[in-house]
Homo-oligomer: A and B are copies of this chain.
Amino acid sequence: MLCPACVSHGLPQAAKLHRTFAEHDVAVIGLHTVFEHHAVMGAEALQAFIHEYRLPFPIGIDQADETGPLPVTMSQWGLRGTPSVVLLDRQGRARLHRFGVVDDLVLGAAIGQLLAESPAVAASVLPDRVGTGKARPACDGEGCVSQ
């Protein structure tokens, strides 16, 4: 919300992830981690922000920690600040964990690698994007021949 790089990069990227991939392949969940400006970053402020920015994916509110400024999940996951990206695989393990701006190409490659781990599911992910190549030219060490 009050994080410029989230607003200009992280949230648009999350919204694009949400548009690009099917929900059962990549589920996008936001996490509202308040570690400063607590008084003006409450649930009502978040609700207005989500409304004005038309954010289409669910966003959870990280539970405040009574013993310190960092909320519980942020602290437990070792998130260093915002924006942060964590990719969880189908077993719920964190497989990518990055603080700062992550390029779409890099994030996409990491997602593609995780999707490939469940080929039975992922086979339907990008049907018209990663084709079978059957109507494509056959390529070998000598070059490519049209069929």
> Which residues does A use to contact B, with CB under 8 Å?
2-4, 7-8, 13, 16-17, 20-21, 37, 39-42, 44-45, 48-49, 52-53, 73, 75-78, 87-89, 92-98, 103-117, 122, 125-126, 129-133, 135-141, 143-146
Contacts and interface: CB of A to CB of B under 8 A. Distances in A.
Please give the count of copies of this chain that the complex contains: 4
B129 A98 contact: yes
Contacts of A112: 108-116
A77 B144 CA distance: 8
A138 to B, nearest CB: 7
Nearest to A117: B116
A131 B40 contact: no
B52 A94 contact: no
